[in-house]
């Protein structure tokens, strides 16, 4: 599957640009697990290792990690770098799904 196919879904797709050596990236892991449980099949969350995929990170001008980019219908609709609270991520994704943040 190509990156374009991955983010081209009509449901929201959150890409977490991260690296294994990044401490704030590790802090995001349980937050993203919470978000994933909240939305289930209504949204996709995918972790993309910038060390293994430098061309994709460069294409989206990811200069700091973690960086989350939310795609909807293949288009980036939201972007945030740093540790982001679960409630904020749920609120943003919720605007593109039938679910709302709880």
Per-domain residue ranges of the chain: 14-19+26-94
For residue 7 the two structure tokens come to: 């983010």
The reported pLDDT for the residue numbered 69 is 98
Give me the active site residues, please.
Answer: 22, 25
H/E element holding 96? none
Residue 58: how many CB atoms within 10 A of its CB? 11
Mean pLDDT of 4-28: 95
* Per-residue model confidence (pLDDT) at position 99: 56
Residue 99's nearest CA partner among 5, 12, 7, 2 is: 12
The reported pTM is 0.93
CB of 77 closer than 8 Å to CB of 71? yes
- Homologous superfamily of 14-19+26-94: Glutaredoxin (3.40.30.10)
Helix 86-94 vs helix 23-39: crossing angle, to nearest 10: 50
């Amino acid at each position: 599957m190509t990156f374009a196919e991955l983010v081209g879904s009509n449901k929201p797709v959150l890409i977490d640009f991260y690296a294994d050596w990044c401490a704030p990236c590790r802090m995001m892991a349980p937050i993203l697990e919470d978000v994933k449980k909240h939305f289930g099949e209504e949204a996709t969350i995918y972790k993309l290792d910038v060390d293994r995929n430098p061309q994709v990170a460069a294409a989206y001008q990811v200069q700091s990690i973690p960086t989350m980019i939310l795609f909807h219908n293949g288009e980036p609709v939201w972007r945030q770098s740093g540790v982001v609270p679960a409630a904020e991520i749920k609120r943003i994704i919720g605007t593109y799904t039938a679910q709302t943040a709880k």
